Structure 1
């Protein structure tokens, strides 16, 4: 039997949801987003509204709920009827977008993809020389079949020290791996979010198939890619893919990591976390608690979304969320606020300038305990808060990589200095 096309696969998933969802409202009851979105509809009616969208109808509050879904995933175990409500809301968003003309949807997806590609290309090249960037695009296939393929996604390359640390740690563990990612191996989420399902399926389905073929197991860094490929693209296109978050893989190898953690890290650490990928916050905490000398502090903050950028539809809520996180870290007396994901790091790292603790990715702490170090050039540059100073600092690297200075200026203003949901300053 031929594999389903992406769109027929989505239609089958939609039909299955409509057959099993009873609109009990359990998913809406545990969702953290209706209240900050100003949705007062009762949970049962709100869920029924989502089914209306899936059937091609309209429902204003359900449209609003679907548009602000942050992917927290609290809804998935709450459902007693075998439905993935996070997928249900994603499909409802797509159904709602399908009312728009196809050319408009394609243009939106194309524009978003182009902006992302430009940002990744420029920001990675103002930080790394060509020979280091080449690590993420091996010219030759490995001589021996790898155990895993490390899938970077796209946007982590804006903060490439995180991805480099992941590779360094796998090297230290002796893991046989290969690497892929970047815009040429996109998950298709930007097109999917624009309602361009044809392009999204072609892009995401091709990437899922490549990952499945390359190694017995794929390790994702980006939670967006994990959800878009593992929950949407692979099932809808019939790809049998074994894919898991890299952070969980590290926790599985914790007994192998322990002997490599030979340096004490005398820091008091709070974790900036998101619950959307099950087991990832717990895995990150287990790794941090295993680091010699490190004191872990539970900041007891709300668990919302799967990454900070998923809160962008509600900018005031997002700013308050960040402010509460910083205040909790200060009140707890931490020396370090450690995040898990790259988008969160881009938005939070410059607050290190004004608050009495450092802001790092948790892999930096694991690397420190193992004697591994990669400088966080993105943070150093963003803290400057001056595009001319950043251009002057990075001009030699931009020249080495052949990046136009005017193009670099535009990207720095938009994708570095422009990403500041909570304005800088203390208090």
Structure 2
């Protein structure tokens, strides 16, 4: 394994210089989020880049690497994170330039979260890191049929369990336990991986090539595709991607799946999907839409939770017991995440995923990729951050704006 660590205090100081002085003077507490995930950088080899990324929650949000680790396969331990953990602890104790440091969360997908916390993977019988529900073995996989008959995990119980494990030396414990973190709440469920790439993609795949009772006909799939393509001219530039063919679902990115779940799916599936399946999808879509809006996530938090519970209960009836895998089950916990952080976007991996894509593009050849990354990141670190003011446009679809009072 090759590893490069950037001192976190020095990196934060450099990042602060990129912001206007008056903005920094108004801030008394600097809020940070971290992300740990694996990234295959070449299609022709098994080399994986495992970066620890940090996000600075100012406007605009700045993402930068703390540690970069490159190896021939996926990581099996957390030795690469030791220096980053020490830097975080030092900043929490001493602050930065007279400002307090606060950690918002550690954002990881389910496998990385299990690795970081040193707990069972999501495929285990007690694979949910938010509740103690025991899974049921159905059709070769663990499923979670209950929607309310479970006990939520707590930081105190988690740390007590890890202490017993450490004393008995039955298994290694996470080095992140040294930090003053809530090991349950500050490791949120990431809706990018679990709601978009997990649930939404699974539903579309069932409609396209699933069981006969839920599968759409070739004509219906073509009709949905034509509706999606007809919306391309109505999608404004604030969306990263335009709608595309439904049969390309295996290549859809997370932003496309989010767009379908929250915006376009409601329109293109109407009167094509059966009433039962459409109402079931709408429960998921409306609940997700509520939890993505900071004001609605608080005002209608209980309602969104009830919608998700209804969505999971009906999933068993419509798609079968085998469909209730961990991603479906985790939807019942999303309302708590939105309440804790303000909205699901406040604790999602989208900003980190964008940065990972930039990192991948910085590698131009297979010769010393880590050296290439470090050199190019060093060159980029001195450039100032710029906020480009959006210009008013009169041509569709970019001729609509949200005003300060919330009117469109």
Same fold (TM over 0.5): no
Structure whose CA Rg is larger: 2
Q: Give the TM-score of the pair, scaled to structure 2.
A: 0.30
Structure with the higher fraction of residues in helix conformation = 1
